Amino acid sequence: MQSAPLSALMTALALILYLVMFCAVAAARGRFKVPAPATTGHATFERIYRAQQNTLEQLILFLPALWLFALFVSDRIGAALGLVWLLGRILYAAGYYRDAARRGPGFVIAAIAAVTLLIGGLAGILRTLL
């Protein structure tokens, strides 16, 4: 992993985004009066919560795909796709926070980046194996 510092940088930045979204949920619990363990009860809280949950769901795909790509294909291209993913997820969160209908474009941009990393990583692994 030390051999892929740019992908490591994108990993750290993706985790910082996730941390910020996690703090947004904690703040929204207080502001919209949705005490734990509840996860429903106010429409705005639910959007902020679902945006964080969806980022979690996407991170578990993105991070391993990024590292498969970085190690079996290219750190530089992997990190560039990682940056696209990151920008897509920022767009997604900013959209979802205002209106569930506006979460689409950012989601699609990030999803294309993640799937490209996964397919590219798989190709790199198969090239190594065959």
Contact set with a second copy (CB under 8 A):
1-2, 5-6, 8-9, 11-12, 15-16, 18-19, 22, 35-39, 46-47, 49-50, 52, 56-57, 59-61, 63-65, 67-68, 71-72, 100, 103, 115, 118, 121-122, 125-126, 128-129
Which of 22/31 has CB closer to a second copy?
22
- In angstroms, what is the minimal distance from the CB of 87 to a second copy? 18
The contacts of residue 31 (CB under 8 Å, 6+ apart) are 45
- In angstroms, what is the minimal distance from the CB of 42 to a second copy? 11
Tokens of 70: 């970085």
